[in-house]
Chains A and B, each alone.
Chain A
Amino acid sequence: MPERIKHKPLDIDKVKPPKAEIHIITDQCKGCGYCIQFCPKQVLEESKEINARGVHPPKIVDESKCILCSFCTAVCPDFAIYTTEKKCAEGC
């Protein structure tokens, strides 16, 4: 569409995207970096820390950007990452 969009959508507050919680089992990670590379929302990056296997596990940049696609879980060869949905009672 040609027109430039200048205003914020009026119903933007009505959509509540799911809130995610990302769990990383750091010592299980072998540092392949697939989760970082394939995350469609760029939620993860390599951390400075060194885990039990002597590699840099991923760390979370911005959890609120996660949309719970769980692709990180799917691509992790070591079952070292998974996501869960935050319940609203936990404050959202």
Chain B
Amino acid sequence: MTEKKEPESRKAAEEVRIGVYVCHCGLNIAGSVDCAEVAKFAATLPHVVLAKDNRYTCSDQGQDQIKKDIKENRLNRVVVASCSPRLHEPTFRKTCEEAGLNKYLFEMANIREQCSWVHLYDKKEATEKAKDLVKVAAAKAALLEPAEEAEVPITRKALVIGGGVAGIQAALDLADTGYNVYLVEKEPSIGGMMARIDKTFPTMDCSICILAPKMSDVGHHPNIELLTNSEVTEVKGYIGNFHVKVLKKPRYVTKDCSACGECVKVCPIVVPNEFDVGLAIRHGIYTPFAQAVPSTYIIDMNVCLNKDGVVVCDRCMKACERQAVRYEMTPETADLEVGTIIVATGADVFDPTALPNYGYGKYENVITSLEFERLINAGGPSGGHLLRPSDKQIPKRVAFVQCVGSRSDKSGKLYCSNVCCMNTIKDSLLIKEHWPETEIYVFYVDIRAYGKGFEDLYKRARKAGVIFIRGLPAEIVEDKKNRSLWLLGENSLQNELYKIKVDMAVLSIGLEPRKDSELIQRLLTLSRTQDGFFMEAHPKLRPVDAATGGIFFAGCAEAPKDIKDSVTQASAAAARAGILMAKGKVTVEAITPIFYPEKCKVCGLCVKVCPYNAITLNKDLKRIELIEAACGGCGTCAAECPFGALTQKHFTDEQIIAQVDAVTENSPEKKIVAFCCNWCSYAAADFAGVSRMQYPPNVRIIRTMCSGRVAPKFVERAFARGAATVLVAGCHLGDCHYINANYQMQKRVERLQKKMEQSGLNKERLQLLWASAAEGERFASKIREMKTIVESVTSKEIEASQKVFEKALTGV
């Protein structure tokens, strides 16, 4: 690196020589964009010394070509017009670096996700748009400057949130690799959902028998610190250097507890045990289940007689030989320093009371599949005897109803919950195993037996005499006399109605995102898909990484999945986290602020807007001080500074204004100038492309890291140059990847809209959009909506706005 420094800085002072490469991407781009014409156009742009089009720029040949040209043609800037920079910017930056060019001298034009894929049927317009996008990229490229990245050390400790099977596996893998791991679980014991299930499919292993040894390993591992009954309350910092606060709720029982259970015998409080879904009782002092880790008992202070702080009852304390009961325990906060975080928070189950036609909660003999697991489990409340709740008799006829809360746009969730089909098949075989004479009906929509060994199990169930009927019951009705149930519906394979009487019905409930996932999302600044599960950085190539650096996913937090997939993903997440920690350091993008002290008036506005407290006001010395290591790189300080004393590296005022100018050079009266943030709204536009959502081609997107970077002067400049409309788009409020910088953008846009209104302009011409990375359709429909606004804007109105914002043309 140090050797390269010299020639780089020398090059930067030389004349600007840009090379442009227009990628066909097979037919992905070339199918709706005339790439040769775009390249021809690019060659006419200022500073462009060479423009080429090739089939796959990202291929080895494509990259070699760039390297060769950099050397032979003395290129000192490179522009590639191809896919989204979110996909291949790192690839081409590396190419440049390999040819001795600083990677910050590279710029990308997104002509695939944001052009060819969204204008599939309009080659002429798409080609024109592609030309514009290349022009914008070249305009920025001309002003790019080389930059060095700061290196940040990584704390070699990991935090795993959630102690289900995924969290357990991830923690064990990391701990075995040699890293210290904190495993935080909000329940009194680790184990999660898997601990409650009886058998696993397709091999019919006893679930707790295979999980308990792993749980115990976690409890004894020298590298794992287990924090149960604890919740993460605050996460600060960034990749490699997270500061985490964990609230450790008191157990009221110390580690001296030998789990003898004498205390339970004397406790006068009896409540339903949540672990058994309320099918068994527990006492005020209890252990959730026999294999719990840690085995230390816990007092549920919500129901204990001593809940008001007065020791009314001390029976458990007296019964405890080891004097482990302590009513005076208080919550503690643990401060953890970790380098990586694995989110393994799991999923909730669907509550079928939302479907009144199935009578759950009304008819005693309608139960959920999770309740069934506890009933069939030898360690459960009925000792493994499948009893129907109304009369505690073994049912002779059992029905399973599939897709309860899944695959429905009316009731429940749209997605398939992935595990319910195989779970039901497994459950039906379990019944057959114990009581072969039982008649079993499975009502399904489709049976999805897609995994290894799944089809075999399905065949086994059919062979065992389980009757599969396609068509969910429309209604379940109870027979008042004997509490049996009538299932009424239509068999859609035979086109006939059925009316089947059973003793017990099991609703195969789906999985849904945890109710507190919004909290986790905010704490860690993550994104969620429309389904509500956490969104990975890339669905194919980075399936366990979060978009936020240093954070990974495992298990059902990311999407519903079975035990095997959860464990696989957990090991993958552990490996990914391990890679980061093994390196011991990470480079941070050079997108921190540039400060010009001579222009600074020490007004302190930047201090107020910085979400990271990376800018401080030194009152004694009357000056602004920057802490670069704390900076997240949103650029909102640069947008806030009224004196131009701050700007953001790689997203300088000059560069963004050059982009605005390039966009508005030709027929600005027909265009939408859009400012999109890298993490949500730009990603939403990419997602619209990947999903081939078609929208009008008159939008030109300028990417910033955060919508907070969008200074009023950029918007004003666009209007001053005759733009019809401007769109500023960011993450939803509360979801900002830079904590809260998007609130600054909201304030600025609202101020501008007010100014427009006061000056007699149509404020509709400046639009604000909140779109998450999954909301491609939201982005596309906004553009469609804005097209009608563009069409309604008259030339008079444009002249008026040019006049109002005249000032923006000067003083840059």
Chain B residues near A60: list those with CB within 8 A. none
Verify B515–A2 contact, CB threshold 8 A: yes
Q: Quick check: B268 and A68 within 8 Å, CB to CB?
A: yes
Segment 61-80 of A: residues with Cβ below 8 Å from B: 67-69, 71
A83 to B370, CA, bound (A): 43
Q: For A10, give the chain B residue with the smallest CB separation.
A: B381
> When the two chains form their complex, are residues B313 and A9 in contact, meaning their CB atoms are under 8 A apart?
no
State the Cβ distance, A84 to closest chain B Cβ, in Å. Answer: 15
Q: A1 an interface residue at 8 Å Cβ cutoff?
A: yes
Instruction: Tell whether A54 is near chain B: CB-to-CB under 8 Å.
Output: no
Are A38 and B312 also in contact (CB < 8 A) when A3-B349, A10-B387, A15-B281 are? yes
Q: Tell me, rounded to whole Å, the shortest Cβ–Cβ distance linking B358 to chain A.
A: 12
Instruction: Tell me, yes or no, whether A89 is within 8 Å of chain B by CB.
Output: no
A11 → chain B closest CB, angstroms: 6
Q: Does B41 contact A (CB under 8 A)?
A: no
In the complex, how many angstroms separate the beta carbon of A67 from the nearest chain B beta carbon?
Answer: 4
The yes or no answer to B392 lying at the interface (CB within 8 A) is yes
B279 A10 Cβ-Cβ under 8 A: yes
> Is B273 interfacial (CB-CB < 8 Å)?
yes
Which A residues touch B315, using CB under 8 A?
69
Which A1-57 residues have a C-beta within 8 angstroms of B? Answer: 1-12, 15, 17-18, 38, 40-41
Given A3-B370, A10-B387, A67-B268, the answer on whether A40 and B280 have CB atoms closer than 8 Å is no
Q: Does B90 contact A (CB under 8 A)?
A: no
- B273 touches which one: A8, A9, A67 (CB < 8 A)? A9
**Chain B residues with Cβ under 8 A from A69's Cβ?**
268, 305, 312-313, 315
Residues of A within 8 Å of B515, CB to CB, are 2
B381 engages A11 (CB within 8 Å): yes
List B residues 389-403 near A (Cβ within 8 Å): 389, 392
Residues of B within 8 A of A5 (CB): 272, 274, 277-278
B389 x A7 contact (CB < 8 A): yes
Q: Which residues between 187 and 202 of chain B lie within 8 Å of chain A, taking CB atoms?
A: 187
Tell me if B270 counts as interface (CB < 8 A to partner A): yes
A17 near B270 (CB under 8 angstroms)? Answer: yes
Instruction: Knowing A10-B389, A38-B310, A69-B305, say if A3 contacts B277 (CB, 8 Å).
Output: yes
Q: Which A residues lie within 8 Å of B281 (CB)?
A: 9, 11-12, 15
Q: How far is the CB of B276 from chain A (nearest CB, A)?
A: 8
Q: Is the CB of A6 within 8 A of B268?
A: no
Q: Cα distance A8–B276 when bound, in Å?
A: 11
Residues B274 and A1 in contact, CB atoms below 8 Å apart: yes
Check if B8 is an interface residue, CB within 8 A of chain A.
Answer: no
- Chain B proximity of A39: nearest CB distance (Å): 8
Determine how close the nearest CB of chain A comes to the CB of B379; give it in whole angstroms: 13
Q: Tell me how far the C-beta of B346 lies from the nearest C-beta in chain A, rounded to whole angstroms.
A: 10
B280 adjacent to A9 (CB under 8 Å): yes
In the bound complex, what is the Cα–Cα distance between A71 and B268 (angstroms)? 13
Known: A6-B361, A7-B278, A7-B364. A15 touches B270 (CB 8 A): yes
B389 / chain A contacts, CB cutoff of 8 Å: 7-8, 10
Known contacts A17-B268, A69-B268; A11/B280 CB under 8 A: yes
Q: In whole angstroms, what is the CA distance A68 to B187 when docked?
A: 30
> Which B residues are CB-close (under 8 A) to A2?
348-349, 514-515
With the chains together, A41 CA to B315 CA distance in Å?
A: 16
Chain B residues 355 to 371 lying within 8 A of chain A, measured CB to CB, are 360-361, 364, 367, 370-371
Structural contact, A9 and B310, CB atoms closer than 8 A: no
Give CA–CA (A71, B313) in the complex, Å. Answer: 7
Q: Which residue in B269, B275, B310, B381 is a CB contact (below 8 Å) of A1?
A: B275
Asked if B351 CB lies within 8 Å of chain A CBs, one says yes
With most chain A CB atoms within 10 A of its CB, the pick from B278, B349, B382 is B278
Closest chain B residue to A14, Cβ basis: B281
Q: Within 8 Å CB of A3, what residues of B?
A: 274, 277-278, 348-349, 351, 370
Contact assessment for A6 and B278 in the assembled complex, using a CB-CB cutoff below 8 Å: yes
Out of B279, B312, B353, which one reaches A7, CB within 8 Å?
B279
Which residues of A lie under 8 Å from residue B187 when comparing CB positions?
1
By beta carbon, the residue of chain A nearest B381 is A10
Rounded to whole angstroms, the CA-CA distance of A69 and B306 in the bound complex is 11
Inter-chain CA distance A6–B361, complex, in Å, is 6
Q: Which B residue's beta carbon lies closest to that of A5?
A: B278
The docked-state distance in angstroms from the alpha carbon of A38 to that of B743 is 50
Q: Measured between C-beta atoms, what is the minimum distance from B317 to chain A in Å?
A: 13
**Which A residues are in CB contact (< 8 Å) with B312?**
38, 40, 69, 71
Q: How far is the CA of A11 from the CA of B270 in the complex (A)?
A: 11
Bound-complex Cα distance A24 to B315 (A): 23
Query: What chain A residues lie within 8 Å of B514 (beta carbons)?
Result: 2
The proximity string for B residues 1-25 relative to A, scoring 1 for CB distances below 8 Å and 0 otherwise, is 0000000000000000000000000
Q: Which residues of A contact B351 (CB under 8 A)?
A: 3-4
- B372 CB to nearest A CB, Å: 11
Q: What residues of A have a CB within 8 angstroms of the CB of B275 in the complex?
A: 1
CB pairs A–B below 8 angstroms (18 shown): A2-B514, A2-B515, A3-B278, A3-B349, A4-B351, A5-B272, A5-B274, A6-B361, A8-B389, A9-B381, A10-B381, A12-B281, A15-B281, A17-B270, A40-B312, A40-B313, A71-B305, A71-B313
Nearest 5 CB-CB pairs, A to B? A5-B278, A1-B274, A67-B268, A40-B305, A71-B312
Q: Which residues of B contact A (CB under 8 A)?
A: 187, 268-270, 272-281, 305, 308, 310, 312-313, 315, 348-349, 351, 353, 360-361, 364, 367, 370-371, 381-382, 387, 389, 392, 514-515
Known A1-B275, A71-B313; further 17 A-B contacts with Cβ < 8 A: A2-B348, A2-B514, A3-B274, A3-B277, A3-B370, A6-B278, A6-B361, A7-B279, A7-B367, A9-B273, A9-B381, A40-B308, A67-B268, A67-B269, A67-B313, A69-B312, A69-B315
